[in-house]
């Protein structure tokens, strides 16, 4: 198994633990942590900080009945929560959850590039991208931050090589042209904290494509 070299930054893991990431980024981070033990350990470290703060919080008075209520509920059968979706093929559990446990519904973007939109709204978008070797990875419209996590294959751009489990974080300032590597088609989970802008990625698809 290839080593993951591009990780989730600490502020993002802390925000994930605290729950302040946009939900679409949350899916990407939860997926990355599912694939990356380095970040799983880092996330646990942030949870430990939260735990230390919890331990040092001032104790507040509780009504007496609260404890007896909870103790009385211990023997009650729990309302069965939805079991967490399991990994399926290359798609880790959090992706399967976003897919509602169904296979991706691919739509062609031309040149063999396909996408499956998992969510798209005012607070951001989440989608799967399928890029044949040598083709450019569509960008998300440079109007926010974009997270791209490789689930299969790899892509390369000016900043480096991204293989399975690697996470690329790009903002408006990063001018880059990711190209899918040779071998298997590159499948990525991509999120942006802005709605998709379809117009903006068409020109990139028409850019000269290298390595074909």
Partner 1 sequence: MARKREISEQTAWMLAIRDRRDKQAFARLFDHFAPRLKGFVVRSGLDAAQAEEIVQDVMLTIWRKADQFDPERAQVSGWIYQITRNRQIDVVRRVGRAMPEELKHEDDHEPDAGQVVALEQETGKLKQALKRLKPEQRMMIEKAYLGDLTHQEIQAETGLPLGTIKSRIRLGLDRLRHELKELREP
The distance of closest approach from Cβ of residue 8 to partner 1 in the complex, given in angstroms and rounded to an integer, is 10
172 touches partner 1 by CB under 8 A: no
55 touches partner 1 by CB under 8 A: yes
Tell me the two tokens of residue 32: 């990355």
What are the distances in angstroms from CA 7 to CA 11, 52, 80? Answer: 12, 25, 34
1 touches partner 1 by CB under 8 A: no
Q: Is 81 helix (H, G, I), strand (E, B) or coil?
A: coil
Q: Taking contact as CB under 8 A, which single stretch among the options 51-59, 134-142, 148-156, 175-183 is the one that binds partner 1?
A: 51-59
What string of DSSP letters covers 114-135?
A: EEEEEEEETTEEEEEEEE-TTP
In the bound state with partner 1, the residue whose beta carbon lies nearer, of 30 and 131, is 30
Instruction: Answer yes or no: are the C-beta atoms of 152 and 184 closer than 8 Å.
Output: yes
Tell me the two tokens of residue 180: 């899918």
Q: Taking contact as CB under 8 A, which single stretch among the options 45-53, 129-137, 156-164, 204-212 is the one that binds partner 1?
A: 45-53
Q: Which of 3, 11, 64, 203 binds partner 1 (CB under 8 A)?
A: 11
Q: Which of 5, 49, 159, 206 binds partner 1 (CB under 8 A)?
A: 49
In the bound state with partner 1, the residue whose beta carbon lies nearer, of 94 and 138, is 94
26 touches partner 1 by CB under 8 A: yes
- Name which of residues 71 to 130 contact partner 1 (CB under 8 A): 71, 73-74, 78, 82, 84, 86-87, 92-94, 97-98
In the bound state with partner 1, the residue whose beta carbon lies nearer, of 23 and 134, is 23
Residue of 169, 174, 173, 129 whose CA lies nearest to 146: 169
Q: Is 192 helix (H, G, I), strand (E, B) or coil?
A: strand
Query: Would you tell me how many other CB atoms lie within 10 Å of the CB of residue 38?
Result: 15
E strand map for 27-123: 107-110, 113-121
Count of positions on this chain that bind partner 1 (CB under 8 A): 63
The CA distance from 95 to 27, in Å, is 7
206 touches partner 1 by CB under 8 A: no
Tell me the two tokens of residue 166: 């690697």
The CA distance from 212 to 210, in Å, is 6
Contact positions toward partner 1, by CB under 8 A? 9-12, 14-15, 17-21, 23, 25-27, 29-31, 33-34, 37-38, 40-63, 66-67, 69-71, 73-74, 78, 82, 84, 86-87, 92-94, 97-98
């Amino acid at each position: 198994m290839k080593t993951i070299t591009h990780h989730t930054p600490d502020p993002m893991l802390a925000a994930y633990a605290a729950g302040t990431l946009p939900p679409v980024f949350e899916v990407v981070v939860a997926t990355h942590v599912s694939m990356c033990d380095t970040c799983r350990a880092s996330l646990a470290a942030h949870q430990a900080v939260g735990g230390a703060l919890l331990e040092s919080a001032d104790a507040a008075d509780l009504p007496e009945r609260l404890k007896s209520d909870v103790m009385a509920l211990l023997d009650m059968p729990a309302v069965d929560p939805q079991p967490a979706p399991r990994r399926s093929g290359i798609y880790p559990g959090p992706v399967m959850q976003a897919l509602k446990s169904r296979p991706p519904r691919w739509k062609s973007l031309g040149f063999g590039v396909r996408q499956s939109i998992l969510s798209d709204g005012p607070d951001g978008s989440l989608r799967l991208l399928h890029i044949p070797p040598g083709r450019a990875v569509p960008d998300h419209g440079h109007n926010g931050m974009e997270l791209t996590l490789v689930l299969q294959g790899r892509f390369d751009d000016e900043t480096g090589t991204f293989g399975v489990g690697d996470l690329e974080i790009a903002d408006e300032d990063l001018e880059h042209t990711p190209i899918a590597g040779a071998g298997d088609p590159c499948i990525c989970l991509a999120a942006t904290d802005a709605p998709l802008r379809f117009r903006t990625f068409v020109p990139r698809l028409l850019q000269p494509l290298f390595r074909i």
